[in-house]
Chains A and B, each alone.
Chain A
Amino acid sequence: MGGTLLGALALAGCSGDLSALDPAGPAARDIARLWWAMLAGSVVLFLLVMGLFALVMLRPEAGRRWSPRTWIAGGGILMPVPILFVLVVFAFAQGEQHLPWRGEHNPVRIEARAHMWFWEFHYLDYPEVQPMVDVLHIPANYDVDVIATSDNVIHGFWVPRLGGKIDATPGHETLVRLYADRTGSFGGICAEYCGTGHAGMTFRVEAHTPAEFRAALGLAGEEAE
């Protein structure tokens, strides 16, 4: 009970329009879970090392029950290697899951062109739709692949609640998958320092039901999604 309350309080402190800890999609949620797991493990390891430090400083003779070899091989190799191995494999598998181009159906493709200092979104699947500035409409519960690029300096496309970020580098096209599992409005921000307008280079992502999505794009409503 107390734990639930504490958890609820912690989550309340973690909410926010740009909070990576307040996920609204599977990628962001998996990463948030990875974070909480790593945090828990880190707290244990930190307490272990500091506890050992206190032990050897205050009662050094107590630490002599282990041989020097045990200390070094045990603490330096046997303890970290399995932990790191599991973590690396797990994180790799998780990363694979949320790569772009993995959906069963064709994702909605949107090109995010970074300017100094605003974002321009092109709906590649709907060439008749005019590009929009600083507002990105996406369908909720559907894979969206964002292709980020720039014709000036490097920017970073980031919607914390929907998933990871990606650099928009001139001369390159990079991909990131977004997925919102609910409708709503989510904050986006430029992550890579891009000059004096960097702080103001924010945008919004609006996730809609299919019908709303088509309406937001100004498309005729009859066509089936």
Chain B
Amino acid sequence: MNGERNETALALHRKLSEIWGTPPGLGKLSAVNHTAVGLRFIVTSGIFFAIGGLLAMLIRAQLATSASPFMEEGLYSQVFTMHGTIMMFLFAIPLIEGFAIYLLPKLLGARDLAFPRLTAFGYWCYLFGGLMLIGALAAGVAPDAGWFMYTPLSSSIHSPGINSDVWLLGVTFVEISAVCAAVEIVVSILKLRAPGMSLARMPILAWYMLVVAGMMLFAFPPLILGSILLEVERAFGLPFFDPERGGDPLLWQHLFWLFGHPEVYIIFLPAAGVLSTLIPVFAGRPLIGYGAVVAAIIAMAFLSFGLWVHHMYMVGISHLAMAFFSAASALVAVPTAIQIFSWLATLTYGRPRFNVPMLYVFGFFFVFVIGGLTGVMLAMIPFDKQAHDTHFVVAHLHYVLIGGFVFPMLAAAYYWMPHMTGRFPVQHLSRAAFWLIFVGFNVTFLVMHLTGLLGMPRRVHTYAAEAGWDTLNLVSSIGGFVMTFGFALVLLDFVLQYRYGRAFPRNPWKAATLEWAMPLPPPVYNFASLPSVDRRADRIAPKEIGAHLAAGRGYLGFARNGQMETLGVSITSGRLEQLIILPNNTFLPLWTALGTASFFLAMLAKLYWAVPIAMLLVLFCALGWTRVTGSQADRGALPVGAGEEAPPHAECSGAPSWWAMVFTLASNATLYASLLFGGLFLWTSAPGWPAEEPPGMSLSLSALTAGMIAAGGVMGAAAVRRAGQGPRALLLASAAAHLAATLLLGWMALNGVPDRTGHALSAVCFAVLFYAGFHTALAAVFALYGAWRDATGLVSQRRNLDLRIGRLWHLYTAVTGVLGVAFVHLLIAMGSAGGAS
């Protein structure tokens, strides 16, 4: 009996491996599997971390003594700018993404994420964008205006070279991968879980990642918008930040920190999720205060969007307004403290074990608590007036980011490395490495608080001996090098583990989550069959469930038509809802990313004639993604094992791709709202308003345009109801209306706004009209695409997913387009010399 079962398990393993496997050789570049791509993210971010670390060593070498002759100021500014940029955008965020991509499906009982090709596309965008930045560093033309790129220093007058363009384009390229990952993570957590896993039964890390990915959806758009506007100002002369022409440098700071502060929590929360996962395991009991922790992280997410002004206490905002942000900044300590005391309670009610991951947990407590306390200090406006822009802030932010991110992620690395490699670490090295990092870190940064209070500003390449900062800086530099040795030992430790680590029993940590219910290193398909979850998913018994699943006794314990299949559930209850059929390995993500790279390179090389060609190339590649989706016939409910049935996702109302469009548009709406906010902000704050030569807009032409946008949107949306009974006429009419609207918007933008390089009012109007026109053009593509899908027999009353996704775009385009036209009129009326203002 047992032997027979093993034989079935083996046969199942072979069949599934064949379906889910990645081809060898160059075929590896076509991989879309989340385990493969997740590991690529993690390893790549590790390499960038090493580069960023080397830059930090250069900084410490430069500052070790006063009047150091090591680097001249131009090179030094590239080094510190790239250190910050790499650590934030090429290390921290991508590591979180890779970690989530690798782990989430395993934790949730799924075989992959919702959009494997998007995972791969995101990776390529990250890699290519990162290479752009590193290439610039190697060529000596790296960004040099500081990692927050304040204008006008980063504007073309003061940074005429391509350094700033490299930052704006490279980081935006990388951010595409962040937004892709955010959409994918949100949808995967909400839809791709094991049946029975309701939201309230999710492992706590899934809650953290859900909140983090949600924050990414809303935090990145302001930065992306800011980068686009600044690049447009640099490349085409449209003023948004130039105070001479109605722009305002403060707009950049608002957009940057509107991203930048949530970013800190986007980095901290996954690490806190690691702690909420590891501490219960090493306490030997489930997390205490699961509900309180979930509430705390949601509160933190909301609060984090109301704190950005605490980076801007020095810009001259009224004291009372700043007091609001000061209080909100202090308040964020509360949800943090709730988590810390939940962890302490979990430990005290358990039987804590001490080992290498727990050593890093100790490191977290020690370092992060100090960082949190100095954070509260900096939230106090009077103190910040002294400490702002000094080395005190440098010390604080490293305490928060290394304490709140690097230490927990090293704990995570030691905890999950056996999962990834199937081997156990060599312990002695691990402990020595920890102590080197821990001691080195504190030696570097504890004294740096004092250096800052003694008056040493950030970002100086040299200082006078009379300032009295020599000893402190030398101590910091020595500590920095000790810490580097620690990191090198960790790397060595990982390599040794990978090569010589000993084998270990399944579930070495006695964890109670699903990722340990699989053979290690994990098979490409994760689970030979999918579990059904009947309790909170951090209280399961991986050993028993693992054997049960490997034998194919759960859901989908079979191979069907060579399809990659996993299950979709209803969002809150976790009830089985749909059979999700995933796309296979393909080179399309790579080609699309290369197309996207050609767009960014054309912008960087100022080959503006090539930019539209590159955009068409990307569109063409993207349309190619749809070739393998869709079906010519309704299939209805299919058996999924365990005696249950579910319809394929394309026949379900809540298909993952529909939700993906919802979240993409929510993110897009944030970008649009930031643009409109920007226009209103300039009107209230920027010098040089009202404008002398406002754009002239014909009211009747605007009304016609708005009518066209609305008509195109309504017809495109209405086509869904005619799915299966000839929606084509409506779709073609919609496409025609959208194209007409695009032409009208183009005419308004080009003819109605002649002075667009002269004043920010015109530039904002042009940007809003361009946004609307870009969306109507894509809406026409959506309408034509729907008509084509219908013509090829891929649409029926049940299989109307393409049209429903299109409907979301049509409605979004209609609402934002009409709003945009109205906004332009409003802004002109308020912001022109003869207007109402």
Contacts and interface: CB of A to CB of B under 8 A. Distances in A.
Interface stretch (A119-127, A134-142, A169-177, A206-214): A169-177
A199 B73 contact: yes
B369 A187 contact: no
B455 A152 contact: no
B192 interface: no
Nearest to A160: B455
Contacts of B510: none
Interface stretch (A1-9, A11-19, A103-111): A11-19
B459 interface: yes
Contacts of A56: 344, 347-348, 352
A216 interface: no
Contact of B338 (A55, A76, A196): A76
Contacts of B339: 76
A38 interface: yes
A60 B340 contact: no
A195 B76 CA distance: 11
Interface in B158-186: 158
B383 A38 contact: yes
A53 B369 CA distance: 12
Contact of B337 (A16, A60, A75): A75
A81 B390 contact: no
Given A76-B338, A91-B381, A57 B455 contact: no
Contacts of B455: 16-20, 160, 187, 189
Contacts of A116: 158
A181 interface: no
A53 B354 CA distance: 12
Contact of A46 (B289, B345, B373): B373
14 contacts: A14-B450, A21-B454, A34-B382, A38-B380, A42-B374, A45-B373, A50-B369, A52-B344, A87-B330, A87-B380, A95-B381, A153-B152, A167-B316, A198-B460
B152 A190 contact: no
Nearest to A75: B341
A215 interface: no
Contacts of A113: none
A202 to B, nearest CB: 8
A87 B327 CA distance: 9
A63 interface: yes
A60 B347 CA distance: 7
Given A42-B377, A152-B158, A199-B73, 4 more contacts: A18-B454, A60-B350, A84-B330, A95-B319
B637 to A, nearest CB: 45
A131 interface: no
B31 to A, nearest CB: 42
A154 interface: yes
B348 A35 contact: no
B349 A68 contact: yes
B249 A154 contact: yes
B484 to A, nearest CB: 25
Contact of A171 (B288, B380, B463, B688): B688
Given A80-B333, A160-B386, A68 B344 contact: no
Contacts of A189: 455, 457
Nearest to A81: B334
B370 interface: yes
A20 B386 contact: yes
5 smallest beta-carbon distances between A and B, as pairs: A164-B385, A18-B455, A171-B243, A63-B348, A76-B338
Contact of B288 (A13, A71, A88): A71
A172 B376 contact: no
A52 to B, nearest CB: 5
Contact of B382 (A30, A191, A195): A30
B323 A152 contact: no
B376 A84 contact: yes
Interface in A44-71: 45-46, 49-50, 52-53, 55-57, 60-64, 68, 71
B338 A31 contact: no
B248 interface: yes
A96 interface: yes
A219 interface: no
Contact of B454 (A20, A49, A193): A20
B515 to A, nearest CB: 26
Contacts of A193: 77, 145-146, 150, 153, 389, 458-459
A165 B352 contact: no
A132 interface: no
Interface string B303-336: 0000000000011100100010011001101110
B485 interface: no
A204 B61 CA distance: 29
B316 A175 contact: yes
B468 interface: yes
A155 to B, nearest CB: 10
B462 A18 contact: no
Contacts of A184: none
A169 B314 CA distance: 10
B262 to A, nearest CB: 21
B337 A80 contact: yes
B376 A87 contact: yes
Contacts of B158: 116, 152-153, 195
Nearest to B686: A171
A35 B327 CA distance: 18
Contacts of A152: 152, 158
Given A77-B334, A91-B382, A154 B153 contact: yes
Contacts of A16: 454-455, 467-468
A47 to B, nearest CB: 10
B243 to A, nearest CB: 3
Given A68-B289, A92-B381, A165 B338 contact: no
A95 B327 CA distance: 13
Contacts of B344: 52-53, 56, 63, 71, 75
B466 interface: yes
Contacts of A74: 341
B460 A46 contact: no
Interface string A17-31: 111110000011011
Given A166-B314, A167-B315, A88 B380 contact: yes
A130 interface: no
A156 B341 CA distance: 40
B513 to A, nearest CB: 21
Nearest to B159: A195
Contacts of B333: 80, 84
Contacts of B77: 193, 195-196
Contacts of A13: 450
B365 A169 contact: no
Contacts of A217: none
B366 interface: yes
A68 B314 contact: no
Contact of A174 (B288, B316, B459): B316
B373 to A, nearest CB: 4
Nearest to B326: A88
Nearest to B463: A199
Contacts of B248: 171
Contact of A68 (B337, B345, B460, B688): B345
A123 B138 CA distance: 48
A193 B333 CA distance: 29
Contact of B453 (A19, A49, A52, A173): A19
B606 interface: no
A129 interface: no
Contact of A88 (B292, B330, B366, B468): B330
Nearest to A156: B389
Nearest to B381: A95
Contacts of A169: 249-250, 315-316
B416 interface: no
A15 to B, nearest CB: 8
A63 B352 CA distance: 12
A194 interface: yes
Contacts of A27: 382
A183 B115 CA distance: 69
